Structure 1
Amino acid sequence: MKVEELLRLAQAGDAEAREELLRSLQPLILRVASQFRRRPITWSDEEAGVALRALNEAVDQYDSRRGVPFLLFARQVMRSRLIDFCRREKTSWVSLEEADSREESAEIAWERREEIERYVYLLSQFGLSLDDLARSSPRHQDTRARFLYAAVKLVESEDLFRQVLNDHRLPLKELAELTGIPRKTLERGRRYLLAVSLILGFPEEFCYLYSYIKDIFPKEQGEK
């Protein structure tokens, strides 16, 4: 079950869905806390507990009508509560003047660079690069919409996506049957499909990239 569905159930009062959502986002919790403190944070550190409680708070506060993706909103809440924690404990942190918009912009830029580095590394495990992605990105909106549709269906199928992660290649035959998109068409978009599915499959790992994909996908998902 994906983040959006777990979030919807959690906000509706499903305690098990909330627990599963918080558990699935544990890597994000530790990463946000570690990035904030500029050192590795484990569950034995108080900052991890602060970030976990902040994430739980974000579940209650989130309103999709504001147009901000949940994972980015959750990061903001976690960072805010970590700042409060450091101030209470009179503990210094790198962005001491967090209220300064320039500092906040620098933090965001740093996080985005760090995320891109992780993504580039993951792409390399599949024999891909950012240059490959740029060259293979469809120019026509209808073509891009079909590939985005296929990428979503691929990630929604746990068995197929697991196969991608294990074999480092697209199951073209199965994906064609699942989506109704001809195999030859999928083959032409193989690099783009792989690159996009890796973002959609790990939204907690690639919050900024996922936000970008989610922003463009709903506008184009109507037709295969």
Structure 2
Amino acid sequence: MRQIDESAIKAQNDKDFLEIFIYEYEPFIMHLTSKVLGRYISRSDDQWSISLSAFNEAVKSYSFEKGSFIPFAEKVIRRLYDYIKKQSNHLPEVLVSPHVFENNAEEEQMAIAHEIAEKTAVASQNDARLEINDLADTLSGYGFSFSDLVSVSPKAVKTKKACAKAIAFVIKRPVLVNELKRTKFLPTKIIVENLNLPRKIIERHRKYIIAGIEIIAGNYPILAEYLKFVREEF
């Protein structure tokens, strides 16, 4: 029996010790998560929180009969991501990625299934499915699909900010929101003239802007989390 195994048992009934225990093994958690996902992660990534939760669950469910703690914790973390991946395979094709609303859309495509599931795992998974399916139906009324957003997602910071301004501009004006929903046409001219933005940017990212408006103006709390940067323009 190793000291780490005894520490894991002790941490089950001592919250202060649990915090110290998790802190000491953060490098292990980060390394394993990066290994499982096949890419580097930082503490600002959603996967970091997911892995910390998995490690915490490993501590809670550990017993000496399950062998050494580290291999056990590794299995728990890996199984969580395997479950996430398995669940994502059952999601509709429109789940190409809510991350298209953020920067780094191309880089995120390798882990799209993981990230969607991680954001919606367990408690909110069904709600997320409903939101995405509902949004997909709404966007079809504009003549494009959710998956189209991948190719029109702004990559440059400047372009992303311009799109955020356009989305916020329309959201602040209920009349424009209603007109958009009624006509299915983005008021490009009004946006360009009032914000002094390049018309080419607005037209090129029309689908992205429309989707952003529909999400914030509608009842999509989970998807709205991917548009936090737009709130800076309010």
> For the pair shown, which has the larger CA radius of gyration, 1 or 2?
2
Taking structure 2 as the reference length, the TM-score comes to 0.46
The two structures have a TM-score, normalised by structure 1, of: 0.48
